Structure 1
Amino acid sequence: MTASPPRHTGLAISAWAATSPYGHDRDDFVRGVREGRRAVTPLDPNTWSVPFTEAGVVPGFTAREVLGRKGTRSMDRPTALAVATVGTLLTGEAAGTPPADDVALVLGTSNGSVQSMMDFTRDSLTQAKPYHVDPARFPNTVMNCAAGQCAIWHGLRGPNTTLAGGRATALLALNYGRRLWRSGRAGKVLCGAVEEFSEQRARLEAWAVPGTAAPLGEGCAMFALEPLDAVTARGDRPHAELLTLEFGVFGAVDDSADLLATLVDRAIGTAGLDPADIALVAPSAAADPLRACERTAVEKALPGAEPRWFDVAPLVGDAGAASGTFQLAAVLALAGPGPSARHALITSIDRDGVVGCAVLRLPALALVHHVPATER
């Protein structure tokens, strides 16, 4: 493949935050990934009535303990995870953001809170009257509840968007954020995705993929997107530069590998790179047969290249819509200061037919070499 002239988005990831099975802040995630430590833990059967024996659950996380008592009585888990993570982002590296009406929020999710939807519906069927439900919990049944609460809690008055696209949700959120910036609707975009672990989600996942043994995970990761020149002008070093994003849809599983290979080839060419320039691949590691298709597609698109692979899903569990955010966060966690830039490829393939990939430029890569389960 002949590399074409670079056509960069001009967007950089200037800050990021993560609430994950490793802990409540980014440093916990970085340490866990660099150590290759598995954050999936056994579930107490007396607490969880689910068809799984283990899961990647954010430890010690409740809305009241993390956010306080005010305004959290009826807050559901994904909303609390998102509000807390956005708050960490805004008070950390992203402190000193532009005016709130110039900051957009793009939040990905699977369905919102499946637990809240089903609990509310159950109450309407089991109470003495169908309307004997808690009205304060009704907003939790709407898919964009978490994004709306993030804006309310943190005073964000810019565009507010909720997306749902399966495992590709995080990449779709990045693309939507890029479009907001390109159209001049926001000077800065906070984008990411959130997923909860709950009894109802666990049962739906077990029903959708019978016999699956892959543990589920939960959490939220958020990324601040800003123009690259603005970041460098104030003397900051970006965590990564977002070069390209590509998406497609397949109808049959047998078509997914060829489609993803085409998208990766196109993304690398658009970024002005050669396959050998890709130093790290972070796949979504979906269940087989899609997992095998993803691997086949990337190897086909990178002939002769020898990138390192890092699968974060075995460490934190299948985080659903938040899977892509943990893939991106893992790439950033493995990057460190260095003299030359390197490039990473993030791929995603979802059982509902959505395929996507992203190419990023990183300051450097310092992969951990003692984790055979995740590095190939």
Structure 2
Amino acid sequence: MELKRVVVTGMGALTPIGNTLEEYWQGLLNGTPGANNITLFDASKFKTKFACEVKNFDPTQFLDKKEARKIDRFTQFALVVSDEAMADAGLNRENVNPDRTGVVFGSGIGGLITFQNEVMDFAKGDGTPRFNPFFIPKMILDIAAGQISMRHNLRGPNFAVVSACASSTNAIIEAVNLIKLGKADIIVSGGSEAVISEAGVGGFNAMKAMSERNDDPATASRPYDKDRDGFVMGEAAGILILEELEHAKARGAKIYCEIAGGGATADAHHITAPHPEGLGARNVMLAALEDAGMQPSDIDYINTHGTSTPLGDVAEVKAIMNVFGEHAYNLNISATKSMTGHCLGAAGVIEAIAAIQSVVHDIVPPTINHFTDDPELDPRLNFTFNKAQKRTVRAALSNTFGFGGHNACVIVKKFEG
């Protein structure tokens, strides 16, 4: 059977550097650092006292106060970006076929804040089980997909994807494949994460995964810098409205770009560390190129996973050199986590949005916080340090990797009818 083509007709974003799609994009172009001291809880006794929080977020500006109390912060984020993306695509309850419109949504952890608070409250008591009746439906990570479907009356395929920090990229790939196979006309897809809490920060601190640069939070996320010391935790949500091409054209939708292809692999190496030679990263980029029917030379920009960890950054660059060879020197490479921090299960979608915007506007957002070259990295590579760069971006590739060795990659390209 002939596979359908899939385009992006709407987007929504809620991030540490902007609470709307446009604010987020301008934050990227301006090289805005998203990290600051934690305000969501008292972090004074924690090894890491800063994070990339979503700022000035009041769920009651978007949701009924009673409704907002019944859902976790990560689901609040999801509903807000679903509203923005649906409006951006010109979609509403009246003009979509609910049975042909679905939701595929990712989160790495889900309602950790709810889980933490309920268990801590129980532990403070006398052992009598007194739990909030919304405890479980607030916590489970599939609830965001369910809530989006109910808010917008979408009755097509509906499920959650979890693959740690690769979750929302995997969700996009699954959604694209459903449309390619004719199972739906439109899929609302992306991811959300909100785990800046005692359990979240304490847990990652115990793994020694996060930066402890408490004296200078704004520059702590520094991918590819010699003195990087770990990732900075972020929270965010993002959504793409993915649509079958002919369906989009028939309704006169604006089209941002085409989803060219995607890939998914495993490192099969370690629960947290990447394969030292970037084997899984290499294979996932090759799989995405094959799925897209493209050559390495067709790619102009890579939004890397680039978390600012000593091992991860080097392994990914090795993989890029392996896949792209001499063409690697013609690429722009950037790690937007230098601004947003690592938004875990939401990282993939907000970075896909950055890649899409680079294709639409022919400008590459920077990798900020670069001070000292790393001798392990080839200085001839263009990491787009510290300042956005204008260039023609025919196609962009976005990498996302997760604990457990999960690798996901999506390629977006300029739309040509």
Closer/same/farther in 2, CA of residues 312 and 341 from structure 1, 3 Å limit: closer
Name the amino acid aligned to 1:359: I
Give deviations 1:146-179, integer Å, cap 9, x for gaps: 2222222222222221111012112210121123
Q: Which position in structure 2 is the counterpart of 1:115?
A: 113
CA gap of 1:88–1:81, structure 2 versus 1, over 3 A, is same
- Count of aligned pairs between the two proteins: 358
| 1:349 paired residue number | 401
Runs (4+) of structure 1 exceeding 6 A deviation are: none
Please name the residue that 2:21 is paired with: 26
TM-score by length of 1: 0.87
Deviations 1:53-91 (A, max 9, x none): 322111111322332314122322101000111111122
What is the CA–CA distance in structure 1 between the aligned matches of 2:53 and 2:132, rounded to whole Å?
Answer: 27
Comparing 258-267 with 311-320, which one deviates more in the overlay?
258-267
SS in 2 for 1:322: helix
2:48 aligned partner, one-letter code: F
> What are the Cα deviations for residues 98-134 of structure 1, in whole angstroms up to 9, with x where unaligned?
2222211111001211111122222333323432222
> 1:15 pairs with 10, 24, 30, which one?
10
- Verify the 8 A CA contact 2:262 2:292 in the aligned structure 1: no
Q: Is the 8 A contact 2:204 2:210 kept in 1?
A: no
Measure, in 1, the Cα distance between the counterparts of 2:317 and 2:191: 24
Against the structure 1 CA distance between its residues 350 and 133, is the aligned structure 2 distance closer, same or farther, given a 3 Å change threshold? closer
SS in 1 for 2:192: strand
SS of the residue 1:357 aligns to: strand
* Pairing of 1:328-339 with structure 2 (within 5 A): 328-336=352-360
Other-structure match for 1:374: none
SS at match of 1:125: helix
Partner of 1:125: 123
Q: Which moved more, 1:314-323 or 1:200-209?
A: 200-209
Matches of 1:46 and 1:350, distance apart in 2: 26
Matching of residue 360 in structure 1 with residue 412 in structure 2: yes
Please state how far the C-alpha of 1:202 moved relative to its aligned partner.
Answer: 1.4
Q: What is the CA–CA distance in structure 2 between the aligned matches of 1:212 and 1:239, rounded to whole Å?
A: 35
Of the candidates 160, 164, 167, which is equivalent to residue 166 of structure 1? Answer: 164
2:355 is paired with a residue of what secondary structure?
A: helix
Q: Provide the residue aligned with 1:156 in structure 2.
A: 154
For residues 114 and 229 of structure 1, the distance between their equivalents in structure 2, rounded to whole angstroms, comes to 40
Superposed displacement of residue 322, structure 1 = 0.7
Counterpart mapping for 1:111-260 below 5 A: 111-199=109-197, 200-210=199-209, 212-213=211-212, 214-252=231-269, 253-254=274-275, 257-260=278-281
Amino acid in the other structure paired with 2:281: L
Distance 1:116 1:166, change over 3 A: same
What is the one-letter code of the residue matched to 2:408?
A: G
1:289 has 2:311 as partner: yes
Q: Any idea what SS the aligned residue of 2:65 has?
A: coil
1:210 & 1:177 partners in 2: Cα distance? Answer: 31
Q: Which is further off, 69-78 or 311-320? A: 69-78
Q: Which residue number in structure 2 is paired with residue 369 of structure 1?
A: none
Equivalent position SS for 2:129: coil
Tell whether the 8 Å contact from 1:15 to 1:93 is kept in structure 2 after alignment. yes
* Secondary structure in structure 2 of the residue aligned to 1:329: helix
1:300 to 302, 322, 344: 322
Query: Cα deviation per residue 1:287-319 (whole Å; 9 max; x = unaligned)?
Result: 231221111101211112111012110101110
Q: CA RMSD in A?
A: 2.5
Provide Cα deviations, 1:232-265, integer angstroms capped at 9, x if missing partner.
3444442121111111111224365133223323
Answer whether contact 1:89 1:222 (CA < 8 A) is retained: yes
Deviation at 1:191, TM superposition (A): 0.3
Q: CA deviation at 1:17?
A: 0.5
TM-score between both structures, scaled by the size of structure 2: 0.79
Q: Which amino acid in the other structure matches residue 292 of structure 1?
A: V
- Aligned counterpart, 1:90: 86
Structure 2 gap segments, 5+ residues each: 213-230, 363-391
Closer, same or farther in 2 for the Cα pair 1:8/1:118, shift >3 Å? same
Identity of aligned residues (%): 18
